[in-house]
Amino acid sequence: MIRLMGAVLVVAGCGALGLAGVARLDGRVRDLGELAAGLDALQRELGWRLTPLPQALETAAKAAHGPAAQFFSRCAQEAGQSDGQTFQEVWRNSLNVIPLRLAAGDKALLERLGPVLGRYDGDSQRLALEDAAAGLRSLQGEASDDRRRLGRVYGVLGVTAGLFLAIVLI
């Protein structure tokens, strides 16, 4: 009886690991979409309304949800304080501090945006934000494809590995 319970727990644990991999893929798709939505709001504020950067970032935080909203909110708070940091440093630090579920290429795309924001005219910032949002949407499509393709693999692999371990241990 104890062996059977142990086998069930091993299968469940391995299955949970597989589902955690699926959740990580889902989180990346969600975060990319939320960041793109925030960049769209930021683009409207900076490009058309010419809102000051901290206020525009607060608007972007309201347009996004989850970790993306935290990212824009932290950038707004740090940009509003004058502690000697450049906005590029604030942007990069926020990318590293907030637990966004992004790949290295996703972060690199966002890091290239930091030096542009708050330094150039509204049209230049708007174009940079348009390009970054389009890039994020493209990456979101790729991440969604990966999620569909790899999601099943992770789930099946987790359960299969659990069954294999259970058979070996019994």
Contacts of 127 (CB under 8 A, 6+ apart): none
pTM of the model: 0.85
Q: How far is CA 94 from the centre of its chain?
A: 12
Structure tokens at 82: 């004058």
Q: What is the rounded CA–CA span in Å between residue 92 and residue 79?
A: 12
Q: Where are the domains of the chain?
A: 2-169
Kindly report, residue by residue over 99-154, the tens digit of the pLDDT: 999 999 999 999 999 898 878 777 888 899 999 999 999 999 999 999 999 988 99
Kindly report, residue by residue over 69-95, the tens digit of the pLDDT: 999 999 999 988 867 788 899 999 999
Q: What is the rounded CA–CA span in Å between residue 155 and residue 134?
A: 31
User: Minimal CA–CA distance to 15: which of 114, 160, 113, 151?
Assistant: 160
At 82, the amino acid letter reads: S
Kindly report, residue by residue over 42-70, the tens digit of the pLDDT: 999 887 888 888 899 999 999 999 999 99
Kindly report, residue by residue over 152-162, the tens digit of the pLDDT: 899 889 889 98
Cβ atoms of residues 156 and 31 within 8 Å: no
Mean pLDDT, rounded, for 162-166: 89
pLDDT at 38: 95
pLDDT at 41: 93
pLDDT at 82: 66
